[in-house]
Structure 1
Amino acid sequence: MPLGVRIFLVYFVFVGLTGWFVLSTVMDEIRPGMRQSTEETLVDTANLLAELLRDDVQAGTLAQSRLPELLTAYGQRQPQARIWGVEKSAVSHRIYVTDARGIVLIDSSGIGVGQDYSRWNDVYLTLRGQYGARSSREDPDDPESSVMYVAAPIVADGEILGVVSVAKPNRTLQPYIERSQRRLAWFGAGLIGLGLLVGGLLSWWLSRALGRLTRYAQAVSAGERAELPHYRGGELAQLAGAVEHMRTELEGKAYVEHYVHSLTHELKSPLAAIRGASELLRGEMPAEQRARFVDNIDSESERLQQLVERLLALAQVEQRQGLEERVAVPLHGLIEELCQAQAARLQRAGVLVDDRVDAQLAVSGERFLLKQALANLLDNALDFTLPGGTLRFSARRQGERVTLCLFNPGPAIPDYALGRLTERFYSLPRPQTGRKSTGLGLNFVQEVAELHGGLLQVVNADGGVEARLELPVHPD
């Protein structure tokens, strides 16, 4: 299972369980919390009514006062109030007053007048100087029919004259409880969902970051050119730096060993030729033969110099993991510049150049490397072009890619050699001299092409050979 998925699952379980626990706890607290708030309001209301009723109860004129009429009118009121989206169309308080014996004097509902309520806790406790409250069901079989009763003593000269009780059915609170629970459920689910989304994004980001570093390590292990992932700091940036440092150290050691072996192998032939010629020159020989051996020494020395220079250039390209710059490089102007630099050789060989590349066509890359790559292609094409031949440059654009083609007339490449032309130190004999080159030119071009995200192909064409260099086009 991927690390990102495991992290997300752990996060999912933690956030889910935490969210469920917190949400369920808060949901369970809504009902008692709202009832406690309502009870506190009933306490205030009962005590206020106790003060208002004290004089009438003390004088014994409560029944003759306007209070029964007012309570009846109160019970018939229709507030038409909209509270938190809940419509309230009727009042729900029940108010009754008892004397010091617990006998109901007045009742806003009209059902308890004259009855003995002294056994009910609200009246019973209040008459004994305690806090009187109770919760009773209107229907014994229906737990939702419970009613809260809160009482306050009617006191005059330190004596309890009676009790006033205020009642409120719990069912009138249910719409507000349900609304709060719904809102809290949606809000909690949203927070949990947001938390899981953040966790998912975090897991995806971490998995993607580690995946980029893993792919980089795998590419380096496979010997492929790869660009080091860039991170903005932290442990991932340190890890990437450590991997890159390890790659540099390991590749540097292996690279030096490889090149020492390759260079040693390739230097044997020209050094043997130089040594043999120098030994022969120590003896007496005709001047014409001596001049031939001196020419051999010069040519082999030049070959050694070219080998060293091209190895150094190739080593610099192979060690690079990316381009130092990406600029627009016009192909037509670059070809003209190279042809001018090779004008003497072209004239001496009697070879013409046909540049058919559009002057407006430009590729994206590092100009110095592209110039070196095209110079190697041009050198290779000149080596295989007979006097009087014409080299032809052309280019075609396909989407975001440009394919630059260099055609040279001459013998076709044998089938066995087509797949090996870009191998290091592999070379075919030149038609005019029969000698081989260093075998590094096309390998260098291939490295430059891959560094630019491109491709090199050398194929047989009608009447000759065509080298195709595919590169990214520069955005207009």
Structure 2
Amino acid sequence: MKIGLRILCGYFLVVGLAAWFLLNVFMEQVKPGVRSTLEDTLVDTSQLLAALVASDIRDGKLDDSIVLRRMQHYAQRAIDVNINGVRKRSLDYRITITDRHGLVLFDSTGRDVGRDYSRWNDVYLTLQGKYGARSTRSDPDDEMSTVMHVAAPIRDAGEIVGVLTVAKPNASVQAFVERSQRIILQRGAILLLLSLLIGLAFAWWLHQALGKLMAYIGAVEAGRKATLPPLGNSEIGILGRALDAMRTRLEGKEYVEQLMHTLTHELKSPIAAIQASAELLQEDMPAEERSRFLGSILEQNARQRQLIDKLLALVRVEKQQRLDAPEPIAVAPLLAQVAQDAAASLAARGVQLKVQAIDAQVPGDALLLRQALGNLLENAIGFAPQGSRIDLRAATSGQGIAISVRDRGEGIPPYAQERVFERFYSLPRPSSGKSTGLGLPFVREVALLHGGTAQVGNHDEGGALARLWLPLA
């Protein structure tokens, strides 16, 4: 599992658990909270009504009590109110009054007058001077039928002479409980969705940044040309720049060590030849031999200069990770320039060059491509039999242009086919011995800089075939 997905899953798990916990707490607390509010209201109501009927209870005027008559008939009033989206069309209070023995003296519904309520907690506790309240199901099999009863003492000269109980069904506030729970669930779902979207956005950003960094690391590990992509000023950007700086230092150190080793190895032969010729020149010898040794010194010196020049050119393209300002290059004029550059070598070898170009353009660096194609053509001339023909042609291939150089020589032997792009590796040429072995590595680096490929092999009909493929865009 990728790190971005793991972070997203972990983030969503934490957010989901937190949301579940909070929603669960809120959902569990809504019903008790609403019922506590209802009980608080019943306490105030019962205390107020107990104070209003205290004189009538004391004087024994229950039948003539205006307050009690109004209590009995209040529920008949028609109402239609909207409380925060909840419709209320009935009045739900039930009021009972008991004497000091718990016998019901008054019932606003008229059902239980004369019954003994002394065993109910609301009456029993209130007669003892305690706070009396209870919740009782009106239907034993229906959990939603509970009714809350809150009692208040009726006093005469400080003595409890009765109990007034105000009852209200819990179902009357159930709509408010459900509404609150529904709103909590909706808002919780929205919060969870927003959290998920934020997590997805963060995971996407992290995936993009890490993907760019991993692609860069993969390219470096594979030895391809690669430049650090823009990663911003985040910790990932700082890490990427640190890795790039480390890569530059390590590659530079390794490159210098390898370069010095190979250069030392390649320069040993011409230096030894120059040293031997110079020592022999110190002795007396015929002018003809002296001239031959001087020619050897000049030849070996030219070989050293050519080796160093080509090595410096190769170093430049190897250390270059991308083209700074690629421009559109017309293929036909480019091949014409390469052919013109090789005219003298072709004439010296008596080799013909056949050029086939197409009207197309590729983005890149004209000078580097000219040098790379010049190296391919120089190799072909070196291995082409005298009087033979070399084909230089360009053709469309997939989403790019393939430029090929074919000679009619003996081709590349099997043992050398895997090593032709190695630095300093070369095969003896029929006319001039070995080359510096830096031409094909240069071609490969130029191809990589242009996002293309370089291949060298044998043609089916004989001879070697070098191919440089360049993308159109």
Q: TM-score range by the shorter chain?
A: 0.7 to 0.9
Q: Is the 8 A contact 1:392 1:408 kept in 2?
A: no
Could you say what secondary structure the match of 2:286 adopts?
Answer: coil
What is the match of residue 382 of structure 1?
Answer: 381
Q: RMSD of the alignment, in Å?
A: 4.3
Could you say what secondary structure the match of 1:421 adopts?
Answer: coil
What is the match of residue 285 of structure 2?
Answer: 284
Structure 2 CA distance for aligned equivalents of residues 295 and 238 of structure 1: 58
Identity of aligned pairs, percent? Answer: 46
- Structure 1 window deviating more from structure 2 (192-201 vs 433-442): it is 192-201
Structure 2 CA distance for aligned equivalents of residues 129 and 467 of structure 1: 110
Structure 2 CA distance for aligned equivalents of residues 40 and 366 of structure 1: 87
Which amino acid in 1 is paired with 2:35? R
Question: CA separation of 1:337/1:72 partners in 2, compared to 1, >3 Å: closer, same or farther?
Answer: same
1:428-454, CA deviations, whole angstroms, 9 ceiling, x for partnerless residues? 2333x2422111001111122223332
Structure 2 CA distance for aligned equivalents of residues 65 and 190 of structure 1: 51
Could you tell me how far 1:304 is from its partner in structure 2?
1.3
What is the match of residue 417 of structure 1?
Answer: 416
What is the match of residue 148 of structure 1?
Answer: 148
The equivalent position to 1:448 in structure 2, one of 423, 446, 454, is 446
Question: CA separation of 1:306/1:173 partners in 2, compared to 1, >3 Å: closer, same or farther?
Answer: same
Q: Is the 8 A contact 2:96 2:166 kept in 1?
A: no
Question: CA separation of 1:250/1:2 partners in 2, compared to 1, >3 Å: closer, same or farther?
Answer: same
1:283-337, CA deviations, whole angstroms, 9 ceiling, x for partnerless residues? 43255x5555444333332221111011111122222333334443332333334
Which amino acid in 2 is paired with 1:466? L
What is the match of residue 362 of structure 1?
Answer: 361
Question: CA separation of 1:153/1:439 partners in 2, compared to 1, >3 Å: closer, same or farther?
Answer: same
- Where does the alignment leave 5 or more consecutive residues of structure 1 unmatched? none
Which amino acid in 2 is paired with 1:460? N
Structure 2 CA distance for aligned equivalents of residues 48 and 365 of structure 1: 95
What is the match of residue 235 of structure 2?
Answer: 235
Question: CA separation of 1:151/1:330 partners in 2, compared to 1, >3 Å: closer, same or farther?
Answer: farther
Structure 1 CA distance for aligned equivalents of residues 24 and 252 of structure 2: 61
The equivalent position to 1:73 in structure 2, one of 68, 73, 76, is 76
Matches within 5 A, 1:226-265: 226-265=226-265
Which amino acid in 1 is paired with 2:286? M
Question: CA separation of 1:168/1:371 partners in 2, compared to 1, >3 Å: closer, same or farther?
Answer: farther
- Structure 1 window deviating more from structure 2 (446-455 vs 3-12): it is 3-12
Q: Is the 8 A contact 2:151 2:166 kept in 1?
A: yes
Could you say what secondary structure the match of 2:358 adopts?
Answer: coil
Could you say what secondary structure the match of 2:112 adopts?
Answer: coil
What is the match of residue 466 of structure 2?
Answer: 467
Could you tell me how far 1:367 is from its partner in structure 2?
4.0
Structure 2 CA distance for aligned equivalents of residues 242 and 82 of structure 1: 64
When the two structures are superposed, what TM-score results if normalisation uses the length of structure 2?
Answer: 0.78
What is the match of residue 269 of structure 2?
Answer: 269
Structure 2 CA distance for aligned equivalents of residues 327 and 151 of structure 1: 95
Which amino acid in 2 is paired with 1:445? V
Q: Is the 8 A contact 1:277 1:294 kept in 2?
A: yes
Could you tell me how far 1:273 is from its partner in structure 2?
3.1
Which amino acid in 2 is paired with 1:231? L
Which amino acid in 1 is paired with 2:144? E
Question: CA separation of 1:409/1:67 partners in 2, compared to 1, >3 Å: closer, same or farther?
Answer: same
Could you say what secondary structure the match of 1:37 adopts?
Answer: helix
- Where does the alignment leave 5 or more consecutive residues of structure 2 unmatched? none
Question: CA separation of 1:340/1:87 partners in 2, compared to 1, >3 Å: closer, same or farther?
Answer: farther
Could you tell me how far 1:422 is from its partner in structure 2?
1.5
Matched, 1:436 2:434: yes
Q: Is the 8 A contact 2:341 2:374 kept in 1?
A: no
Could you tell me how far 1:398 is from its partner in structure 2?
0.5
Structure 1 CA distance for aligned equivalents of residues 345 and 387 of structure 2: 11
Could you say what secondary structure the match of 1:112 adopts?
Answer: coil
Could you tell me how far 1:91 is from its partner in structure 2?
2.2
Question: CA separation of 1:339/1:150 partners in 2, compared to 1, >3 Å: closer, same or farther?
Answer: same
Could you tell me how far 1:55 is from its partner in structure 2?
11
Q: Is the 8 A contact 1:93 1:168 kept in 2?
A: yes
1:324-359, CA deviations, whole angstroms, 9 ceiling, x for partnerless residues? 344433323333343444455555656555443322
When the two structures are superposed, what TM-score results if normalisation uses the length of structure 1?
Answer: 0.78
Which amino acid in 1 is paired with 2:138? E
Structure 1 CA distance for aligned equivalents of residues 141 and 414 of structure 2: 99
Could you say what secondary structure the match of 2:455 adopts?
Answer: strand
Which amino acid in 2 is paired with 1:38? L
Q: Is the 8 A contact 1:95 1:164 kept in 2?
A: no
Which amino acid in 2 is paired with 1:71? Y
Structure 2 CA distance for aligned equivalents of residues 430 and 65 of structure 1: 128
Q: Is the 8 A contact 2:75 2:90 kept in 1?
A: no
Could you say what secondary structure the match of 1:173 adopts?
Answer: helix
- Structure 1 window deviating more from structure 2 (190-199 vs 48-57): it is 48-57
Question: CA separation of 1:318/1:274 partners in 2, compared to 1, >3 Å: closer, same or farther?
Answer: same
Could you tell me how far 1:456 is from its partner in structure 2?
0.8
Q: Is the 8 A contact 1:63 1:106 kept in 2?
A: no
Which amino acid in 1 is paired with 2:146? S
Structure 2 CA distance for aligned equivalents of residues 319 and 127 of structure 1: 99
- The alignment covers a number of residue pairs equal to 466
Which amino acid in 1 is paired with 2:271? L
- Structure 1 window deviating more from structure 2 (252-261 vs 141-150): it is 141-150
Could you tell me how far 1:50 is from its partner in structure 2?
7.8
